[in-house]
Amino acid sequence: MVEHRRLQKTGGGSYVITLPKEWIISLGIKEKDQISIITRPDSTLLLSANIKEKNIEKREKVFNLDEIQSTGSESGRKSFLYRMLISAYIMGFDNYRIYSSQKLSPNVIKTVTDFVNTALGPVIDDQTKNTIILKDILNPTEMPFENNIRRMHMIIKTMHGDLMEAFQDKNIEVIYEVISRDKQINQRNWLVARETNMIFRDVMLAQKMKVTLEDAQHYFLISKQLERIGDHARLIARQMIKIMNKKLAEGLFEKIRYSSEKAMEILSGSLNAWEKKTRKSTPNKSIKLANESIEANADHKKLIEEITKLNINDPEIYIPINYIAESLRRTGDYSVNIAEIVIDNLIKEIAE
């Protein structure tokens, strides 16, 4: 329902508009209480009475294990609970209560503990024989989007660099360690998704984090691309283990390494374009940098073709090499997706 009210001008030059009485009463607003006013990008004003953090309702998600454990295998129920905990986390819930009419099984306790050890923020606040209460202690403003994206980028770059060195040195322990780093990327991706959903529920949080709703959405899209790139770094590592002790054709590893370096250059170029955007660089410069990354992917794909066209007779080498090549190709494609997100975000700011 739209209400129309006339703007009035006071003697001091200020402008005044009355607020709906029903709105004031429903929120229990008293005389001299502060009202928060936010100017939105579309030139509308957003009024909110929830100024203080203590007034913001904490959301709790309750999990009844009697219902979760009624069907399926033990491992299936464990995966189901873990999946639901992650979903509640991503959707921005602050507290979680997991309870059962029976004593909690060791598997349930381990599942909850694994979740707490993986997600950033949740801790076990209380526990009894049949209940676990989790509380999220992370303030989103302390982990801004930009920091999460930068951290994901750094993890991916070091994964690729360390993988190539470890393969050359035949250091399988390092390769397994690199595989484990993918969890850190997933961790950051969940946090970006969580903060995005929290911002869409609480515009005041967007103000505190100094991002628009549009930027939050694009941060989330970039995070998803980085998460996929991390998955492919892990896949490359697993395929490298299979061929570590095989005799490769001369120059094959050098081509793989060079392709990895080029993929990282494309990724860095795309993310540098986004960082220039966040640092208030001119839109034209950021878009130009993003476009350079997109065009560089054409040469990268030619490198991939050179790898896949090599005459390899041994299927124990041929199959892993093709998987590696495909993951490198997708790494370049996902990096291009990031560059396109930058252009989409900035196109409106280019002067006609």
Q: How many CA atoms lie within 13 A of 115 on its CB side?
A: 29
Q: How is residue 185 written in tokens? A: 């990327």
- Per-residue pLDDT of 295-329, as tens digits, reads 999 999 999 999 998 878 889 999 999 999 999 99
Secondary structure, 3-state, 304-322? HHHHHCCCCCCHHHHHHHH
Pairwise CA distance, residues 165 & 342, whole Å: 32
Pairwise CA distance, residues 55 & 202, whole Å: 12
Global pTM value: 0.86
Q: How is residue 335 written in tokens? A: 């990096």
Spatial neighbors of 123 by CB under 8 A, at least 6 apart, are 116, 134, 135, 136, 137
Q: CA torsion, points 48, 49, 51, 55, in degrees to nearest 10? A: -130
Strands 36-39 and 60-64: unpaired
pLDDT confidence of residue 54: 45
pLDDT confidence of residue 147: 96
Give the DSSP per-residue string, 180-196: HTHHHHHHHHHHHHHHH
Give all domains of the chain, ordered by start, each with its CATH number. Answer: 8-55 (2.10.260), 60-140 (3.30.110), 141-349 (1.20.58.220)
User: For the CA atoms of the chain, what is the radius of gyration?
Assistant: 26
Pairwise CA distance, residues 156 & 281, whole Å: 25
Secondary structure of residue 38 in the 3-state scheme = strand
Long-range Cβ pairs for the range 260-263 (8 Å, 24+): 260/160, 260/163, 260/164, 260/236, 260/328, 261/160, 262/296, 262/299, 262/300, 262/303, 262/332, 263/160, 263/300, 263/328, 263/331, 263/332, 263/335
Spatial neighbors of 1 by CB under 8 A, at least 6 apart, are none
Answer for the pair 266, 303: CB distance below 8 angstroms, yes or no.
Answer: no
Helix/strand number for the chain, H first, E second: 12, 8
- Per-residue pLDDT of 256-272, as tens digits, reads 999 999 999 999 999 99
Cα-based angle 147, 150, 151 (whole degrees, multiple of 5): 85
Pairwise CA distance, residues 204 & 197, whole Å: 13
pLDDT confidence of residue 329: 98
Residues of the chain with pLDDT under 70: 1, 40-43, 50-57, 69-72, 277-281, 351-352
pLDDT confidence of residue 309: 86
Q: How is residue 278 written in tokens? A: 């966040």
Pairwise CA distance, residues 178 & 156, whole Å: 10
Q: How is residue 82 written in tokens? A: 């873990």
